[in-house]
Amino acid sequence: MNMRSGVRLTSLAAAGVLALGALAACGSSNNNAGGGGGGGGNTGSGPSVGVILPDTTSSPRWEGQDRPNLTKAFNAAGLKSDIQNAGGDKTTFGSICDSMINEGVKVLMIVNLDSPSGAACEKKAAQAGVQTIDYDRLTLGGSADYYVSFNNVQVGKLQGKGLIAALNKEGKTSNVNIAIIDGAATDNNATLFKQGYLSVLNPLFSSGKYHKVGEQSGNWDATTAGTVYEQMYTQAKGKIDGIISANDTMAGGIIAREKAEGVKLPITGQDAGVEGLDNILSGYQSGTVYKNTSLEAAAASKLAIDLIKGNTAAAKALVNGTTPDPVGHRNVPSVLETPVWITAKTVKQVIEDGQEEASQVCAGKYAKLCKKYGVPMS
């Protein structure tokens, strides 16, 4: 059994089932690895670090990549952890936050559902003496000690450049109509992605070579994004040449509508999940931004260890940038990894890194395409 399938079978600790039975349905795991990173961790029986993931619908990465990667990183570090999923519900998110603080975690990592509820959780943690890390999404107006993510402006730049390359390949260099489907307005990452792709596209809009036919949020939802695209397509009377989609989930919803219309347009994505990679292999998606979440998880784990041990100097040494919080009027110390643009020719990188399994990506009709593009099948 490989790492990715094995970690999905992690069991709930008996105490967690009793205390958090109502939340377990939203997805939780309790890692019983010993210690707290070399003796500096929790002296009781509870976990040293708690993680709250946001949902199971906005992206396949949370359960398919982040949970197993974080579990592996914490196990390797000897950290006892509790990883739970809020299931997209802010009340559940708050309940998990309260429970983790009460069970005595030393470090709490959150992926917020929105900034106000995330900030409320971090305020409670600070009052209880629990250090916090914003994981992947920055909590605006929050009080996280650190932020661990990818360079999200660069994510957007890769999407913009990837779309231009796909359009150029089709000979579309002037009088090009672009539709833009942004991420959720409640997610600061969506703002940063937008900043990135517009920095690439705006010069072309200004020159008159490209025309924006519409821009609207798809709210990280496939159905919503598909509906938004269809409305734009109708309003533009079918004259759309390319699409910025801020992630693969929304791209999948748009592509489903395209297939129904017999259309195949250059479109971007993000997350490099199974559906996105299959859409790339089959030519329905131009590319995706790949964020190797094992790097993100490893960085977060190292940071958590240093915080638990009280090694402030080591924690600060991991920082390679700051991220502005315009609501909190501060720059948050950040550990930022580098994203990569993936096309059909480089899908194999995601498999080789162990972030998706060839047996899933290359199933059925995609086996021939995987062979064509050199994706390792074993």
- Digit-coded pLDDT (tens) for 292-303: 999 999 999 999
% of residues, the chain, pLDDT over 70: 88
Mean per-residue pLDDT, 186-206: 97
Sheet order of strands, 210-217 included: 210-217, 176-182, 242-245
Q: Are 61 and 288 in contact (CB under 8 A)?
A: no
- The strand pair at 131-135 and 288-290 is best described as unpaired
pTM of the model: 0.84
Condensed to tens digits (0 to 9), the pLDDT of residues 298-342 reads 999 999 999 998 999 999 999 999 999 999 999 999 999 999 999
Q: Say how far apart CA 107 and CA 130 lie, in whole Å.
A: 6
Q: Say how far apart CA 306 and CA 289 lie, in whole Å.
A: 30
Please report the DSSP string for 156-171 in residue order.
HHHHHHHHHHHHHHTT
Q: Say how far apart CA 353 and CA 285 lie, in whole Å.
A: 21
Set out the domains of the chain in order of their start, with CATH numbers: 3-150+292-337 (3.40.50.2300), 152-291+341-372 (3.40.50.2300)
What is the three-class DSSP state of 128? Answer: coil
Contacts of residue 111, defined as CB under 8 A and 6 or more positions apart, other chains included, come to: 52, 53, 54, 62, 66, 134, 135, 136, 137
The answer on pLDDT for 225 being more than 70 is yes
Contacts of residue 140, defined as CB under 8 A and 6 or more positions apart, other chains included, come to: 115, 119, 188, 325, 326, 327, 328
Residue 22 buriedness (CB in 10 A; 0-12 / 13-18 / 19+)? exposed
- Binned at pLDDT 50, 70 and 90, residue 377 comes out as confident
The answer on pLDDT for 194 being more than 90 is yes
Q: Say how far apart CA 167 and CA 242 lie, in whole Å.
A: 7
What are the DSSP E strand ranges found in the chain?
28-36, 49-53, 79-85, 107-110, 131-135, 146-150, 176-182, 210-217, 242-245, 288-290, 321-325, 330-337, 340-342
pLDDT at 30: 67
What is the three-class DSSP state of 256? Answer: helix
